[in-house]
Homo-oligomer: A and B are copies of this chain.
Amino acid sequence: MAQAATEAAQTARATIGDSEFDRDTAVTLREHGVYDAELSAGWTIIHAVNGGYLLALLGRALGEALPHPDPFSVSAHYLTASVPGPAVVRTEIVRTGRTLSTGQASLFQYAADGSEIERIRVLATYGDLDALPDDVRTTALPPAMPARDQCLGPSDGPAPIPGSSAITERLDIKLDPATVGWAIGAPSGKGEMRGWFGLADGRDPDPLSLLLTVDALPPTSFELGLTGWTPTVELTAHVRCRPAPGPLRVAITTRNLAGGFLEEDAEVWDSADRLVAQSRQLAKAPRDA
């Protein structure tokens, strides 16, 4: 499926502003600071709406509300599970400065009686990535993983993402074979997940889509031999650089599974070997932990 999508993308690539991701994260101004949205069923895993997609939608609303264009640091606390359908994002400008501005956003959906149920609350600081100096002094190295054509996607035998997942048709993920043991019942026991990431319609990455990328791979808990759900409690993403066009590499690491919780640290690298995003989430470990 992703394979076919990739080939389609190679013939007619979607562009930033005109892609499945852009259409499905669209927000419509209802009144000052309030945006209507439709959570697309196209970004669900089993029945859950992907948390990274929701983060990107919130980030898009904040980008419209704040004077600065790019998310530098986005902190999200996940309150209740979102479902496909209507939603509203209520934003507040907390502070505006010369180089940085900070805002808050909440995603709500509607109960049967029409009352609003809060799904996610976010604090975020925005800036202008293009205004940053070019200095880079990093000791971080891109994750070691095989070439993209040596990695495994849904079309390569056992589905790396179990169950029927609409999101697998919108993503073009190829996992490092060293981190797909779980898909054939042989998890490595290491808290690692690595892979190549793209959008299936060929849309290039930008700071907003990075908010999806940091939470789009299978959970490291699968490689720890845990098969259950790992709901995110909190996720903070830092966008460090505007990503270059082309495929991204994502490496996720869990070092501490304890007390029924685990952290997932994600790094995203672009085709120019720049570390473009870092994230950490605290998640509940599956029951069988």
Q: Is the CB of B95 within 8 A of A233?
A: no
Asked if A234 and B191 make an inter-chain contact with CB atoms under 8 angstroms apart, the answer reads no
Q: Which residue of B lies closest to A191 (CB)?
A: B139
A241 lies within 8 A of B259 (CB)? yes
Q: Can you report 11 residue pairs joining A to B where beta carbons are below 8 Å apart?
A: A75-B75, A77-B94, A80-B95, A95-B118, A123-B234, A132-B261, A135-B259, A234-B236, A236-B280, A238-B263, A256-B275
Output the least CB separation between A95 and chain B (Å).
5
**A154: shortest Cβ distance to chain B, in Å?**
29
Chain A positions 241-280 with a Cβ under 8 Å from a chain B Cβ: 241, 255-261, 263, 274-275, 278, 280
With A233-B100, A234-B238, A282-B238 as given contacts, are A135 and B79 in contact (CB-CB < 8 Å)? no
Known A-B contacts A75-B75, A94-B77, A280-B280; A233 and B125 likewise in contact (beta carbons under 8 Å): yes
* Nearest CB of B to A213, in Å: 17
Interface extent on A, as a size class? Answer: 35 or more
Residues of B within 8 A of A123 (CB): 75, 77, 121-123, 234
| Cβ–Cβ < 8 Å partners of A135 in chain B | 257-260, 289
Contacts of A191 in B (CB 8 A): 139
* Secondary structure of the A contact surface, majority rule: strand
Using a CB–CB cutoff of 8 Å, the interface residues on chain A facing chain B are: 72-73, 75, 77, 79-80, 94-95, 100, 102, 104, 118, 121-125, 129, 132-140, 190-191, 224, 233-234, 236, 238, 240-241, 255-261, 263, 274-275, 278, 280, 282, 289
CA of A73 to CA of B280 in the docked complex: distance in angstroms? 11
- Tell me whether A138 and B258 are in contact (CB under 8 A): yes
How far in angstroms is the closest Cβ of chain B from A136? 4
CA distance A95 to B80 in the complex (A): 9
A155 to chain B, nearest CB (A): 32
Partner of A224, one of B122, B137, B190: B137
Q: Chain B nearest CB: distance from A256 CB in Å?
A: 4
Other than the given A73-B233, A256-B275, 19 more pairs (CB < 8 A) read A72-B233, A72-B282, A73-B77, A73-B282, A75-B234, A100-B233, A123-B123, A132-B259, A134-B259, A135-B257, A136-B259, A137-B289, A138-B258, A139-B190, A140-B255, A234-B238, A236-B280, A238-B263, A278-B280
Q: A77-B73, A234-B236, A241-B259 are in contact. Are A121 and B104 (CB under 8 A)?
A: yes
Chain B residues contacting A122 (CB-CB under 8 Å) are 123
Please name all residues of chain B whose beta carbon is closer than 8 Å to the beta carbon of A100 when the two chains form the complex.
Answer: 233
In contact, A258 and B118 (Cβ under 8 angstroms) = no
Least Cβ distance of A243 to chain B in Å? 13
